[in-house]
Structure 1
Amino acid sequence: METAEIRRRFLSHFENAGHTVVPSAPLLFDDPNLLFVNAGMVPFKPYFLGQETPPFDRATSVQKCVRTLDIEEVGKTTRHGTFFQMNGNFSFGDYFKEGAIRHAWELITNSVDDGGLGFDPDKIWVTVLHTDTESRELWKKVAGLPDERIQNRGLLDNYWHMGVEGPGGPCSEIYVDRGPQYGPDGGPEADEDRFLEIWNLVFMQEEITNVTAKDKFDVVGPLPQQNIDTGMGLERVAYLLQGKENMYEIDEVYPVIAKAAELSGRAYGADHDDDVRFRVIADHVRSSLMLIGDGVTPGNESRGYVLRRLLRRAVRSMRLLGYDDPALPELLPVSLDRMKASYPELETDFARISQIAYAEEEAFRQTLGKGTQIFDVAAGETKKSGGTVLSGDQAFALHDTYGFPIDLTLEMAQEQGLSVDQEGFRALMAEQRARAKADAKAKKGVHADTTIYRQTIDAFGPTDWLAYTNLITESKVLALLSGGAQVPVLSEGQVGEVVLDRTGFYAESGGQNADAGMLRWDGGQAEVLDVQRPIRGLVVHQVRVQSGELTTGADLSAEVDHDWRLGARQAHSGTHVVHAALREVLGPTALQSGSYNRPGYLRLDFGWGGALDPEQLHQVEHVSNRALREDLQVSQHWMSLPEAKEFGALALFGETYGEQVRVIEIGGPWSRELCGGTHVERSSQIGTVVLTSDTSVGAGHRRVEAFVGIEGFEYLARERDLVSQLTEMLKAKPDDVPAKVNDLVSRLKATEKELEKIKSAQLQGAAGDIAAAAVDVDGVAFVGHRAEGVGGGDVRQLALDIRGRLQDRPAVVVVVGTAGDKPSAVVALNPQAVDRGLSAQQLITVVGQHIGGRGGGKADVAQGGGTDLGGIEPAFGAVREALRG
């Protein structure tokens, strides 16, 4: 049974049982504590935590998940994978233990002809919490399971909670006996390879606190309502029903392995190390496909770093299999072909997905080239010093600075007869991970505690948010917050947070900055500094009290700054216009991946492989302003997410959308996007769009910036004033300015070249005199020369010229230039000096010790720099002493 069919049967089974089918949330879910969605219940957390009222009593989903803690273990075992799908059914105060057990039992044991999964009932085992006698009795009653196939387990195995105070409860896990060839008899307690868990039923029934470990917490009491949260691993069920050994061999994953084997000429199943690489490739290619599909782009931080690592590990593994050509163009379409049955949007968006993936592979191939050069130098130095071990520091620098994989370092070191200090490398990696974890924990801590906000919304309900219709609202202060706690009053000069019963202030979201404005009440006023939604449904205003005291329960006027809002509307609508213009000029793959706008300014990130040339930028700007001149209607529509997708609305990757979404149209289908921001009523109200830059923000991604409205006109006015000044200075017409400036630049360059020739001739002329002044130090001709105002390559050239005039005996030349008020030194030795055992490398170290720097090079020429001009003469003296030694 194919994986997509298992998925379909699961959803159909629960839909027929009265569950609302909820589409998978994007992997980039709106949860500050998560990098990616990592469990099927994540999108339902607000309902379980009581932060929101669920719109249904029972639901079912197949949720896309990514777990990143075990990336290094992928392929080494048959259990670790980064991307997986979690089938789940959920009850919010509706059915409880008996219903969950009955639904699960019927699905897994009903025949295939009856819509079930067809597992043999005699092969099913379950575990329950040792104190949960109710679940044990229900399994006997509903499923007819005998006592010996119902095993008791402790809190570590069969109790669920989120790791923090909140809901918890016992769980019951369902296992399938794979047969004696996989291990000993005795149920899950004896062997979890033979008895494989496929489903976990969580009975959420009590509130817990003081959580210090999985099995250490205090129970406060029963929850107001009992909930069900279950999770069935789709890939596990698939490989059981398909008769495969592991998740890498199911129909959605194995075709990538088969293609990799075809490309590399290696056979899967013939060699353990190769098999690990094949599994890494299959897992990481599929995971990357899904992550890019949900809006992740490769980068050096956070989610982008995870994706970059997955893509590069896949490419690296192909290289280790002996395939050096671009691999992703061969592998990614294979993964798409298997995943599109369940996620058809991948096929629609594949042009963008593949463009990003292929650009990252190309960037990595270039990185490998640079890293190889660095490795060759490090390996050469190790051999030259008589060593056989590449240091952990060097291996870590290759990995951390140049993105060079340790496996590749090991492989190349072996080819050159070297080993690598792996313990040193691992120690440095562990230090880096510890720093990253500490940093992540610190950052997480900023957002993690939302207790005060949950308490506020529990007490008062969601904010009546009127930003689309009202700039001024008559509001009441429901709560004042400071230092993570409620306070009765905010005094003059104090900064705090204000929760109102209603507000017209726009809370920062979707790339749009928060509104500015004032809160005014009888006897005082406060400036609104920021507006946020710390949890869904609650709008919080950060304010500074300018006069008077603001108290809980006060009536006030919440007034959005009119000019600020106008500029914000122009910028947000301008973002939509520029996005549509980019797609019109560059094509449909130029899709927005992020944006930011504030009054008068916008920036937009989009998928594109290279810099836009001046003509393309001009066309985008022209199309944008043409849309403004045409005075296009800007309209909004509310509809369900499936209706919006069918309507052709574009969604911003990484955003989380509710059941009802808002579609903004500008000129009908020309620009049709899901958006929660504020907008103008007609495109002409944007005023103007002035593109100011196009820059790279990572492989396959560009960023354009622009001014709109009055800020756009002011930018053009500054440009006009600049041109006016140039025309006055050059005594030229505006159209002639570029040619005049070009002529001046050409003449300047020519003059600089002539000056360089003169300077070089002067230095060459001086070289003879300087060489003639050489002093003898124990049979070595020594020159120490301070070259005032000379720097860079001129110092080196002067040193070499002097050395060239001293060929009749061993010679050591030290030239230190003083350009830029910083010494730059070159030590040059002729062959006779080198034969005598002298070394420029050693002597540049002596110089560096006195001028506050260091350097390096070869035996005959070395160079370096420093910071102390006062150390030049002492450096010459130190070299003389070194020569005498």
Structure 2
Amino acid sequence: MKGNELRQAYLQFFESKGHLKLDSFSLIPENDPSLLLIGAGMAPLKPFFTGKLVPPCHRITTSQKCMRTGDLENVGRTARHHTFFEMLGNFSFGDYFKKEAIHWAWEFLTEVIKLDKNRLYVTVYPDDQEAYDTWHNDCGVEESHITRLEDNFWEIGEGPCGPDSEIFFDQGPEHGCDDPNCAPGCDCDRYLEIWNLVFTQFNKMPDGSYEPLQHKNIDTGAGLERLASVLQGCKTNFETDLIYPIIEATAKRAGVTYNEDPNTDVSLKVIADHARAVTALISDGVLPSNEGRGYVLRRILRRAVRHGRLLGIESIFLTPLIDVVVDILGPGIKSIAEKQDFVKRVVQNEEERFNQTLEQGLELLNSLIDTLAAEKATVVPGTEVFKLYDTYGFPWELTEEIASERGFTIDHEGFEAAMKEQRERAREARVKEDAKVATPDITFLKDEELLEDEAVTASSVLMIGKGSERLQTAADGDEITVIVRTTPFHAEGGGQLGDTGFIVGPMGKVEVHNTKRLPEGTVYHIGTVVEGSISEGDDVTLEVDTNRRAAMARNHTATHLLHAALKKVLGEHVNQAGSLVTPDYLRFDFTHFSPVTQEELDQIEALVNEEILKATDLAIAEMSMDEAKAKGAMALFGDKYGDVVRVVEVPGFSVELCGGSHVGNTAFISSFRLTSEAGIGSGVRRIEAITGRAALNAAKHDRLTIERMAGELKTKAPQVEERLHQVLAEAKETAKELEQIRKEVSAAGAADIIAGKVMIGDVAFVAAAVKASSIDELRDLADMGLDQLNGSGVVLVGAAMGDDKVNFVCKVSKDVVAKGAKAGNIVKAAAQVAGGNGGGRPDMAQAGGKEPAKLAEALKAGGEALTSMLQ
């Protein structure tokens, strides 16, 4: 059975058992600040397990994309470690429990994918007699194939927890160890865990006691890659059809053979694993950066490139592998297939940038080793290895390899200590995030009570929350969340900020700072009680800041027009990669791999304004996703959509899926003006623009600025540009004349400089204190001095530039460099006497000091340094 067939078989099996099949959630957690990336099948479903949200169905099944990087260094070195993998899962929220979960797992394994019952083993928690009896009495698992293990209990601190039961497949004694008592739970690879069933039946209390849960849950997980390796008879996950084609393509590109050299195999596996991870992350909206998820992506991608170098691949190679990944995973994961071209562009750009980084890292490392060698050291400090690794993205393995070639070792303990310190900082930050409440508990609310109607002005308070606490009454100064029966406030979404305004009750007032939406659709308001108090059940008046909303509507519709204009001017490859709609301006991030020219920006701005002037009525309607796609509607990157979607159309120009605020007619936008365009990441550009009153105010500001400039230039506004060119030309001519005068003065000074020429052997040497206002002028004097020596000799000049600053420049002709003279060492000797330091190339160097009074002494020291070099 192929990997894609296995995924489909699992999902269809649990659909037949009454489960709702959901597409994999994004790797980016939604409304959960405690997670950086989704690392388990149940992670996106946490609000349903904790009871804070009502699930769409009490039985759910998924094949969830997962990402783990905690043991990155083991990837490629073991049979099962991955960064990206898929977790098959079936979940029950207060519905079925142990018996059904066990029966269905056994049925799927033995009847659907037909694994040999005699090679299946299970483990249970010692006190979980119900699970033991179900396996033995109901499923017929022999007692010799059931092991009681203390480790079979799942919990993470306080909260829901319970025993679990693991299912293992016996791969045969050839995969095992020499221990005659080898059994499931052993660290060897004979008994392969393929499924874990967690029976969440307790709530761990702060005092350490366990209370039974009123609603028991089921959380199971089966690794798709592991199951595939068993079905396909592979020694490792890497040899399954889910991964091996990537290895084959890489081996062909590198001209190597898999399974001949262990080190080569590690690199091939790392590249295959990381190519999958990179594709999945980017297709879910993660872009390379130096922090958070972007850092995880960049680190994985660069690690893959590094292993390509180890295989002898010097050029771009990861980008073509994305096609192989999409061929494998695309049929089962929509987002990966849909974003193929975008992923390739991001990867190619990042590959090219990292190849440059490698060159920079090599330069820094070689310089560091040169310094250490001069100090007679033989070990590269761990802090320096970590700095190269963390700041510059330079792999520590490469540092170790290069250091070894030059007779150095690296301080592993120091490096690990620095890594540990960084992990601790990250862990502490994560603990703080864990303490945050991601969603309020709203399970007591009924769906039919919650309505949205932008025309409504009165409603009633259904819930008040403060952190995790539900309040009956909130008083002046309290920061709270409020849910009302019917709200006219638009929730944050699609890049648009949430509405603000006031909720006014009989005894007080709440200022609403933002409006948000929970994953299942409930709108809640975030605000502060600014007068009196507000209580649950209060009848309230709702006051939306309509001027602010109207400004956002103008900017949101303009964003759609901008998106369409970008595609028309730059090409169809342009896709949205992020957006922000505020009352003051709009920001739009898009995929494009070169700066947008001024001519293109002018075309884009003109296209949008042309649509505004057409005064086109917008067509906004709800329809099925299939109907929307048939209309050519564009889905915004990273947004999630249900079966029924809202389509916003500017007829003849733009069609997008969107739930935000929009104008009724393009003329209400008034005008559109681009304010900036810049690159913000690998293959991603950002445009900012203004509309309406902001655009009019900007035009007024420009007019007033031009009028002021006209006054300063003593001309009229229409002639400002012509007059400005004239003034600049005059200023340029004056500057040329001043530069000529300066050169003539400097030449005269240079003649004075060489009057103090001395001979050191057969080398002419000049050391002089001069007057100079800048380091550039000092360099010019050194050049002129060397010219006065007919281009052969050494010139060292120094100038005091203030009470506490002195600068030096040294020039050495090439013939004298050949005799052993080095400008860097000469200028360094002089600067150190004057309380400073410096250096440079053998033929030219500069330095600075803090003690101008020692200028003469410093110049003398420079001459002594030259003398020692020529002896």
Q: Does TM, normalized by the shorter one, top 0.5?
A: yes
For the pair 1:768 / 2:751, whether they are aligned, the reply is yes
Does structure 2 retain, via aligned residues, the 8 Å contact 1:775–1:782?
A: yes
2:685 aligned residue: 702
1:193 aligned residue: 189
Partner deviation per Cα, 1:773-825 (whole Å, 9 max, x = no partner)? 68999x9988463635x223322332454466689999773413639996544
1:113 aligned residue: none
Does structure 2 retain, via aligned residues, the 8 Å contact 1:462–1:537?
A: no
Where does 1:152-171 land on structure 2 (aligned, <5 Å)?
152-154=148-150, 157-161=151-155, 163-171=156-164
Alpha-carbon separation, structure 1, partners of 2:170 and 2:820 = 79
Alpha-carbon separation, structure 2, partners of 1:437 and 1:683 = 53
SS for the counterpart of 1:239 is helix
SS for the counterpart of 1:720 is helix
Q: Which amino acid aligns with 2:852?
A: I
Cα 1:588/1:732, change in 2 over 3 Å = farther
Alignment equivalent of 1:514, drawn from 494, 498, 503? 498
SS for the counterpart of 2:440 is helix
Deviation at 1:848? 5.9
Alpha-carbon separation, structure 1, partners of 2:250 and 2:624 = 41
Cα 1:636/1:437, change in 2 over 3 Å = farther
Greater alpha carbon shift after TM alignment, 226-235 vs 834-843:
834-843
Cα 1:526/1:188, change in 2 over 3 Å = closer
Q: Which amino acid aligns with 1:766?
A: G
Question: Gaps spanning 5+ residues in structure 2: where?
Answer: 866-871
Alpha-carbon separation, structure 2, partners of 1:825 and 1:450 = 61
1:204 aligned residue: 200
Greater alpha carbon shift after TM alignment, 76-85 vs 392-401:
392-401
Does structure 2 retain, via aligned residues, the 8 Å contact 1:508–1:514?
A: yes
Does structure 2 retain, via aligned residues, the 8 Å contact 1:149–1:187?
A: no
For the pair 1:609 / 2:602, whether they are aligned, the reply is no
Alpha-carbon separation, structure 2, partners of 1:833 and 1:346 = 60
Alignment equivalent of 1:711, drawn from 694, 698, 721? 694
User: Normalising to structure 2: TM-score of the pair?
Assistant: 0.89
Does structure 1 retain, via aligned residues, the 8 Å contact 2:168–2:192?
A: yes
Alpha-carbon separation, structure 2, partners of 1:821 and 1:548 = 62
Q: Which amino acid aligns with 2:95?
A: D
Cα 1:391/1:331, change in 2 over 3 Å = same
Alignment equivalent of 1:371, drawn from 352, 355, 361? 361
Partner deviation per Cα, 1:563-614 (whole Å, 9 max, x = no partner)? 1111111122222221122122222221111111111310011111011112
Cα 1:527/1:93, change in 2 over 3 Å = closer
2:6 aligned residue: 6
Deviation at 1:306? 1.3
For the pair 1:873 / 2:835, whether they are aligned, the reply is no
Alpha-carbon separation, structure 2, partners of 1:506 and 1:71 = 42
Alignment equivalent of 1:680, drawn from 650, 663, 687? 663
Does structure 2 retain, via aligned residues, the 8 Å contact 1:497–1:540?
A: no
Alignment equivalent of 1:218, drawn from 194, 209, 221? 209
1:490 aligned residue: 475
SS for the counterpart of 2:454 is coil
Question: Gaps spanning 5+ residues in structure 1: where?
Answer: 111-115, 212-216
Cα 1:737/1:464, change in 2 over 3 Å = farther
1:573 aligned residue: 557
Where does 1:543-622 land on structure 2 (aligned, <5 Å)?
543-544=527-528, 546-548=530-532, 554-622=538-606
Does structure 1 retain, via aligned residues, the 8 Å contact 2:53–2:443?
A: no
Does structure 2 retain, via aligned residues, the 8 Å contact 1:466–1:505?
A: no
Q: Which amino acid aligns with 1:798?
A: L
Alpha-carbon separation, structure 2, partners of 1:434 and 1:485 = 38
For the pair 1:358 / 2:354, whether they are aligned, the reply is no
Cα 1:771/1:477, change in 2 over 3 Å = farther
Alpha-carbon separation, structure 2, partners of 1:195 and 1:772 = 89
Alpha-carbon separation, structure 2, partners of 1:396 and 1:568 = 46
Does structure 2 retain, via aligned residues, the 8 Å contact 1:478–1:501?
A: yes
Alpha-carbon separation, structure 1, partners of 2:627 and 2:101 = 32
Cα 1:699/1:640, change in 2 over 3 Å = same
Greater alpha carbon shift after TM alignment, 673-682 vs 595-604:
673-682
Does structure 1 retain, via aligned residues, the 8 Å contact 2:559–2:588?
A: yes
2:868 aligned residue: none
Alpha-carbon separation, structure 2, partners of 1:801 and 1:480 = 77
Alpha-carbon separation, structure 2, partners of 1:127 and 1:692 = 63
Partner deviation per Cα, 1:283-313 (whole Å, 9 max, x = no partner)? 1111111111111111111111111122222
Does structure 1 retain, via aligned residues, the 8 Å contact 2:796–2:808?
A: no
Where does 1:103-182 land on structure 2 (aligned, <5 Å)?
103-110=104-111, 116-154=112-150, 157-161=151-155, 163-182=156-175
Q: Which amino acid aligns with 2:588?
A: L
Deviation at 1:640? 6.2
Cα 1:240/1:109, change in 2 over 3 Å = same
Alpha-carbon separation, structure 2, partners of 1:293 and 1:798 = 58
Deviation at 1:639? 5.5
User: Normalising to structure 1: TM-score of the pair?
Assistant: 0.87
Cα 1:489/1:621, change in 2 over 3 Å = same
SS for the counterpart of 2:681 is coil
Alignment equivalent of 2:428, drawn from 436, 441, 450? 441
Alpha-carbon separation, structure 2, partners of 1:694 and 1:62 = 40
Does structure 1 retain, via aligned residues, the 8 Å contact 2:389–2:396?
A: yes
1:77 aligned residue: 78
Does structure 2 retain, via aligned residues, the 8 Å contact 1:568–1:597?
A: yes
Greater alpha carbon shift after TM alignment, 552-561 vs 198-207:
552-561
Does structure 2 retain, via aligned residues, the 8 Å contact 1:634–1:682?
A: yes
SS for the counterpart of 2:743 is helix
Does structure 1 retain, via aligned residues, the 8 Å contact 2:803–2:852?
A: no
Where does 1:34-49 land on structure 2 (aligned, <5 Å)?
34-49=35-50
Greater alpha carbon shift after TM alignment, 252-261 vs 431-440:
431-440
When the two structures are aligned, how many residues end up with a matched partner?
858
Deviation at 1:330? 2.9
1:630 aligned residue: 614
Does structure 1 retain, via aligned residues, the 8 Å contact 2:622–2:647?
A: no
Does structure 1 retain, via aligned residues, the 8 Å contact 2:557–2:662?
A: yes
Does structure 1 retain, via aligned residues, the 8 Å contact 2:804–2:852?
A: no
Alignment equivalent of 1:481, drawn from 436, 460, 466? 466
Does structure 1 retain, via aligned residues, the 8 Å contact 2:829–2:861?
A: no
Cα 1:477/1:8, change in 2 over 3 Å = closer
Alpha-carbon separation, structure 1, partners of 2:325 and 2:467 = 51
For the pair 1:454 / 2:440, whether they are aligned, the reply is yes
Alpha-carbon separation, structure 1, partners of 2:128 and 2:669 = 64
Deviation at 1:631? 3.4
Does structure 1 retain, via aligned residues, the 8 Å contact 2:779–2:809?
A: yes
1:214 aligned residue: none
Alpha-carbon separation, structure 2, partners of 1:409 and 1:877 = 43
Partner deviation per Cα, 1:124-162 (whole Å, 9 max, x = no partner)? 1000111001111101123211111010011xx31123x
For the pair 1:431 / 2:427, whether they are aligned, the reply is no
1:421 aligned residue: 410
Cα 1:463/1:107, change in 2 over 3 Å = closer
2:869 aligned residue: none
Alpha-carbon separation, structure 2, partners of 1:98 and 1:443 = 37
Alpha-carbon separation, structure 1, partners of 2:803 and 2:426 = 39
Alpha-carbon separation, structure 1, partners of 2:613 and 2:296 = 44
Does structure 2 retain, via aligned residues, the 8 Å contact 1:25–1:656?
A: no
SS for the counterpart of 2:165 is strand
Partner deviation per Cα, 1:638-687 (whole Å, 9 max, x = no partner)? 45667766765433333445x45542322258533333322222333222
Alpha-carbon separation, structure 2, partners of 1:471 and 1:362 = 55
RMSD: 3.8
Where does 1:317-356 land on structure 2 (aligned, <5 Å)?
317-356=307-346
Cα 1:618/1:861, change in 2 over 3 Å = closer
Cα 1:570/1:119, change in 2 over 3 Å = same
